[in-house]
Chains A and B, each alone.
Chain A
Amino acid sequence: MSERDAVAMSERAAVLDVRNLRVAFRSGRASTTVVDGVGLRIEPGQCLALVGESGSGKSVTARSILGLAGDGARVSADRLRVGSHDVLTLGNRQLRAMRGADVGLVLQDALVSLDPLRTVGREIADALRLHTRLTPSERSARVLQVLAEVGVPEPHLRARQRSGELSGGLRQRALIASAIALEPSLLIADEPTTALDTTVQEQILRLLERLKSEGTGILLISHDLAVVSRIADTIAVMTDGRIVEQGPAAQVLGDPQHDYTRRLIRAVPAGRPRGTRLAPTPSTLVPTSPTAPASKGPEPLESDAIPAVSVLSTGFVHLAAAGRTVALEARGLSKSYRGPDASRRLVVDDVSFVLERGRTLGLVGESGSGKTTTARLALGLTAPDAGTLTLGGAPWSILRERLRRPERRRIGAIYQDPLGSFDPRWNVREILADALTSGRGASGVGGSVGGRAALARSIAGLLDSVGLASALADRRPLHLSGGQRQRVAIARALAPDPEILVCDEPVSALDVSVQAQVLDLLDELQRERGLSYLFISHDLGVVQHMSDTVAVMFDGRIVETGPSADVFARPAHEYTRRLLEAAPRLR
């Protein structure tokens, strides 16, 4: 008896203990195993990070722990304990009692997770009402206390606001507040910072860190190794429903044993010099660079020590040295929009930049800083209120649309959401045929067999240049993966043989390893075709990796600009420094 008690005691110490968790979904007669033999253990005040890409089964694992795997899911485990609860034996009522009281859940999108019609205070108070016997006045006192704890300024005001009235950061804090209101011993955070700006992400991570130091066990789920490395004690790397590597954070990041872990670490662009491959295999079918050996054992993380620096091809260096011609120049651009209260809001304020031919200008800033409006100005989609844009020295922004239209082929665009940029009725072939024939489509080449064959060849060639098999031409973008979609978008942008590509957050919706492949592809295409990129991103690591020159945007203004290496090494402006400090990097 005493022995059993001792075992029970030691096990009670863990806030989460999962052994050999399996989750399978049935569809029809077939059943797919999405989580296969996962084991996790979290003790109080510890943070375990579950890292993996979309579809790896990490969210399903989290849901199973909460008993929320869903209909049709078969969950089995040798052990699935949250604190003292055996989740698998609990009924629905007991599970509901456990959620909130013993486990808090924080999801990625606070805007969706919080009821838009109820105030934030009410949302938190409800959890208290269901799980505690506090009186209404005690409840509201506790609500304010929790909001203050998570660092919401003026909690008594914020508690009376609805989620839609709060900024992204405040909203996420409110969500965390509702999750910790009952002081659960375990907090499950599923991609808690993915939708947030860098500086806000930093604040949320700091908050999670504090909760951890106060004794809460945290299961942090993320696709982003850099975010995780900041607060995780243990890292579990998950792919295809299995945990392929698990260990202390420093060990997993510093001395990764599994191939997949190495690939993930390599794919992180932060601190990787320009022209370095991020993905292990060449992203096109034609090998263009000496590929780094992916299995040469542990890789140091300092950029200068990476053995895998495939040197820039000579053509690129040449272009970079000689390419002093200006592809796109902006002078004193301003643009304002009318707000809902009829006040004018200056979105872009006196922005000037020079994009040299064959090079990349990185535009970095947080949401609302005016990056996308700058992109739209560069693309000639809106007219600036003041200032001018010139394309290759010729007028661009002051042209009338009729005169600008024939020139549009010179400047293409890639968007964050490639799927939305394709006509939903078209398959890949039709999309590319349209782009190749200036909008006339397959019928535009005439009925001649030769014309059709030539078009088919061009389509296959385009697909090949972005590393897609020509068999994909018959698919609709809806049935492609995120990375494939972005490749199709790049192929379409390349079709009219442009000089400049405006890339607006081209990889922020992609998994790290896919992001690495797309960035590699963009890099290669730039070298082969001498393209100039206006590269917009909120992700400092991506911008640093891609850009020759960087412009930091804040509140519609460019607060700092200069060669990428200088800006990142010696930030001159206060805001740039703040951004850099907040940026998560592998450590």
Chain B
Amino acid sequence: MSGSAGAPLLPSPVGGERRPGAGGGERGPGLREPGGRASGARRILGHLHSTEIVGALVLLLLLVAALAPSLLTATDPLGIAPADAFTPPSPGHWFGTDESGRDIFTRVVYGARSSLLIGVAATGIGLVLAVILGSLAGLGPRGVDFGVNRLLEVLFAFPGLLLALLFITIFGPGVATSTIAVGLATAPGYARIIRSEIRSIRGSGYIEAATVLGRSPAQIFRRHILPNVAAGLFALATLGIGQAIVWAAALSFLGLGAVPPAAEWGAMLSAGRTYISVAWWLTFFPGAFVVLAAASATVLGRSLQRRNRER
């Protein structure tokens, strides 16, 4: 499931950890010891690797772009200026302009909103669905577990993107449907992980201890199972956002999500493809940002996962 998006974008975790150089590398493990806690801020910053800081900064920047794009650019993303068409990157237009003279930088900034929104919303939809399915399978009687498992296996038989395409063919293209489609396509993977997590937690000593203390199944689910699943899930979701961004861009690229005049990275890629031999910047910058966003989300997700394990 993560093969298509995760693997090529992923900086190798080992390389990522070693990069900080001798100074940073020595500081990290030193501070990780329980005794070596200084002030709160230093504790948090001291734990961060430089790749994590870069990833967090990129996501923060994208978040600003998504929430308040006018802070970063004063130009209108849809305003055309035919005279300036195909201007290469220059001080006036950092990323150049497209065939209608629209500023690519502005469009990339505005595109962050729909890309992030689709990424987050699709992951959210996938997770909600997965929590329901996974909990049913993990907590329910054997029959329900069997049924859910077979359903997941059927869904697994289709590649995720194919599933998304199927959904869009049935319900028609558009931003909303492509978001739901990506969410649906990611759900089976999450559901399986949630199911096995719940199964292992259910068999653990602290659930038995809670039962002996007289806790009801509802209390146990709320106070033990859900929080313990959530810790791992949060990291997984961050990883998933990166993947969802790529998929959403892919659907837009195919003309099934956002449609060309809209400032969306996938749609921009698609529109720029015609001119790829004469104006590389039309496709390069939106593409670079898809990669950047997905990579930062993946880096952060990985480090969250690692922290969960270390804890």
Contacts and interface: CB of A to CB of B under 8 A. Distances in A.
Interface residues of A, number: 27
B304 to A, nearest CB: 15
Nearest to B209: A421
B208 interface: yes
Given A424-B228, A441-B223, A405 B209 contact: no
A432 B228 CA distance: 18
Contacts of B170: none
B79 interface: no
A272 B89 CA distance: 88
A406 B204 contact: no
A413, A417, A425, A496 pick with most chain B CB within 10 angstroms: A425
A575 interface: no
Contacts of A441: 223
B208 A409 contact: no
B206 interface: yes
Interface stretch (B66-74, B92-100, B190-198, B213-221): B213-221
B205 A435 contact: no
Contacts of A411: 212
Interface in A400-441: 405-409, 411-413, 415, 417, 420-425, 434-435, 438-439, 441
Given A409-B214, A423-B228, A439 B205 contact: no
B26, B211, B214, B311 pick with most chain A CB within 10 angstroms: B214
B224 A408 contact: no
Nearest to A407: B214
A479 B205 contact: no
A406 B214 CA distance: 6
Interface string B174-212: 000000000000000000000000000000111011111
A462 to B, nearest CB: 14
A417 B211 contact: no
Contacts of A28: 26, 29-30
A379 B228 contact: no
A487 to B, nearest CB: 15
A398 interface: no
A422 B206 contact: yes
A454 B129 CA distance: 42
A378 B216 CA distance: 19
Interface string B21-52: 00000100110001000000000000000000
Nearest to B227: A425
Contacts of B224: 423
A381 B211 contact: yes
B310 to A, nearest CB: 11
Nearest to B311: A424
B231 interface: yes
Contact of A408 (B34, B206, B214, B223): B214
Contacts of B228: 423-425
B255 to A, nearest CB: 46
A496 B228 CA distance: 24
B213 A421 contact: no
B37 to A, nearest CB: 12
B212 A381 contact: yes
Interface residues on B, range: 20 to 34
A406 B211 CA distance: 11
A479 B215 CA distance: 26
A420 B205 contact: yes
B205 A415 contact: yes
A28 B224 CA distance: 37
A408 B213 contact: yes
B87 to A, nearest CB: 55
B213 A409 contact: yes
Contact of A423 (B29, B206, B216): B206
A409 B26 CA distance: 50
Given A406-B214, A425-B228, A439 B209 contact: no
Contacts, number: 66
A491 B287 CA distance: 58
A27 B140 CA distance: 48
Contacts of A421: 205-206, 208-209
A421 to B, nearest CB: 4
Nearest to A402: B216
B212 A405 contact: no
Contacts of B215: 405, 438-439
Nearest to B216: A405
Interface in B220-259: 223-224, 227-228, 231
Contacts of B216: 405
B30 A408 contact: no
Contacts of B219: 439
B287 to A, nearest CB: 41
B212 A379 contact: yes
Nearest to A413: B212
Interface string A368-387: 00000000000101000000
A381 B208 contact: yes
B214 A438 contact: yes
Nearest to B220: A439
B210 to A, nearest CB: 7
Given A423-B224, A425-B231, A415 B209 contact: yes
A5 to B, nearest CB: 52
A492 B206 CA distance: 12
B214 A417 contact: no
Contact of B214 (A415, A425, A496): A496
Interface in A466-497: 479, 492, 496
Contacts of A438: 213-215
B206 A496 contact: no
A422 B216 CA distance: 17
B212 A422 contact: no
B113 to A, nearest CB: 35
B213 A435 contact: yes
A92 B28 CA distance: 32
Nearest to B208: A381
A439 B210 contact: yes
A122 B213 CA distance: 49
A405 B227 contact: no
Contacts of A406: 214
Contacts of B29: 28
B212 A439 contact: no
Contact of B213 (A417, A424, A496): A496
A417 B26 contact: no
B90 to A, nearest CB: 51
A141 to B, nearest CB: 46
A379 B34 CA distance: 37
Contacts of B213: 408-409, 412, 434-435, 438-439, 492, 496
Contacts of A381: 208, 211-212
A384 B116 CA distance: 55
Contacts of B205: 415, 417, 420-422
Given A405-B216, A425-B228, 15 more contacts: A28-B30, A381-B211, A381-B212, A405-B214, A408-B213, A412-B212, A413-B208, A413-B212, A422-B206, A422-B209, A424-B206, A425-B227, A438-B214, A439-B219, A441-B223
17 contacts: A381-B211, A405-B214, A409-B214, A412-B212, A415-B205, A421-B209, A422-B209, A423-B224, A423-B228, A424-B206, A434-B213, A435-B213, A438-B213, A438-B214, A439-B215, A439-B219, A492-B213
Q: Which 6 A-B pairs have the closest CB atoms?
A: A408-B214, A420-B205, A421-B205, A421-B209, A413-B212, A423-B206
